[in-house]
Each structure stands twice: as structure tokens, then as C-alpha cells.
Amino acid sequence: SVEAGSLLSVRGLTKYFGSFAACNGIDLSIAPGEIHALLGENGAGKSTLVKMLFGVLQPNAGDIVWGGSSVSIGSPGEARALGIGMVFQHFSLFEALTVAENIALSLDPRIPLAKIAEEAASLSKAYGLPLDPNSHVADLSVGERQRIEIVRALLQNPKLIILDEPTSVLTPQEADRLFETLFKLKAEGRSVLYISHRLEEVQRICDRATVLRHGKVTGACDPKQETPASLARMMVGADVAAV
């Protein structure tokens, strides 16, 4: 059954690549204001799952329930219109363009660039993501590039923000800054779906965790109530307990 009061529920979500099920009957619910981890080893199906939630991939089976209604999410534009934003693991930014010009590419072309730059600057300040909208992407660090993607998502006022392994490209200081941003989003009642394979950061920042292995859910828990060993067991299988 779909959990009452959840912002997003998926039931039986399945994605095949040929005859291989990258996601195989996944159930997951996210509450408003929750930082929800999607935890799993490389190849577990995490990115495939969130690409279905952002309309990049179409499921072969299963339901996505958003705000109480069953939806089909045909494209990233449809996901954004529903209130879902995403920060991908690999950014799609044009090096020769400025921050504001890059952001403009995913918005209505009638919006003046100066207005986009102004809103991007104000969001970056409000959410602790320092960024000059007029700088060229080619001159920016990978951490700054990620901030562009976060600001781009925030411009659409999302109810849910999905981040796919965001700290894999960040310094520890940048990661701490990102966590502060996520706590602010949570305090505003927005939900965060946070993909990671790093147990310690999931335990530190997430309210709940859904653990995937080989395309299936192997556990759903409050990560703060788990030990690193119990989380690792859900991620890699019972045999790890013997190691």
C-alpha cells in the first residue's frame, strides 16, 4: 500500500536494460521534509531508479505516486513541472558559457538573462552556495559547478531535490557546506533524496535510508539507529558479517 502523507511513493518500479533488471520491483516512500538516503554499492541500481523519477528513463513496470496521484514522468521537463529537481552525478554544463547562460538553457527563453543572474545570485546567497552568475564555467572548480546545478534546481522551487553521489566530487569542506544547504532545504519542508555509498555521511545527515542491492530493496531504516556493520550487511549481503 502507498504510505499516507508521503510526498512520493514508488511501488514495484522496474527497469530492464535488455534482459537485465537494473531495478527490480522497488518500493520506496519519501515524506515531506525528509532527507532520505538511497544507499547501495556501485551497480545497485541507484542512478537508474532516480533517472526514472526525473523522467530520464521510463520504467517497464511499477507506479510512481506523487502528492497522492499516480503520475507518469515522461521527461525532465515534466519532472521539474511536478516539483522534482535533480543534481546529476555528471554535470551537463557548457564550459564557454557563463553560470547564468547555462541556467538559462533549462528555462523559458523569454526570461531575461539579467533576471536569471539576479535570482541565481540571490538563491546562491540564501542557500550558502557561493557563485558568481557572470563567471565562465571553464574557470570554475567541480564544487562550484555542482552549485550551479543545485541553484538551477532551486530556481524551479522544487518539493523534492534528488542528488546523485554529490560528495564524490567534493572536498570535505565543500561537503560540509552542502550538508548545511540540505538541512536548510529540510527546514523549509522540502524533501531530499540523497544517493550515496558512504555510510558515515548517510548516518550523519539522513532521516531514513532505503538500501538497494542488485536492483532490489534490502532494507529501509533510520540510519542513525543502525551500526555501520548492519548497514553494510544490507548493502553487500549477509556474508559480510563473517568478515
- Binding positions for ligand ADP, rule: CB under 6 A: 17, 22, 40, 42-48
What does 158 bind: ligand ADP, Mg ion, none (CB cut-off 5 to 8 Å by kind)? Answer: none
| CB closer to Mg ion out of 117 and 199 | 199
What does 22 bind: ligand ADP, Mg ion, none (CB cut-off 5 to 8 Å by kind)? Answer: ligand ADP
Measured CA to CA, the distance from residue 166 to residue 108 in angstroms comes to: 27
Within residues 64-83, the interface with Mg ion by CB under 5 A covers: none
**CB 229 within 8 Å of CB 238:** no
Q: Is 196 in the site for Mg ion (CB under 5 A)?
A: no
CA dihedral 231, 236, 242, 243 (to 10 degrees): -100
| CB closer to ligand ADP out of 43 and 228 | 43
Q: Is 47 in the site for Mg ion (CB under 5 A)?
A: yes
| CB closer to ligand ADP out of 48 and 98 | 48
Looking at the DSSP bridge assignments, the partners of residue 65 are 9, 70
Measured CA to CA, the distance from residue 237 to residue 213 in angstroms comes to: 8
| CB closer to ligand ADP out of 23 and 82 | 23
Largest CA distance in the chain: 61
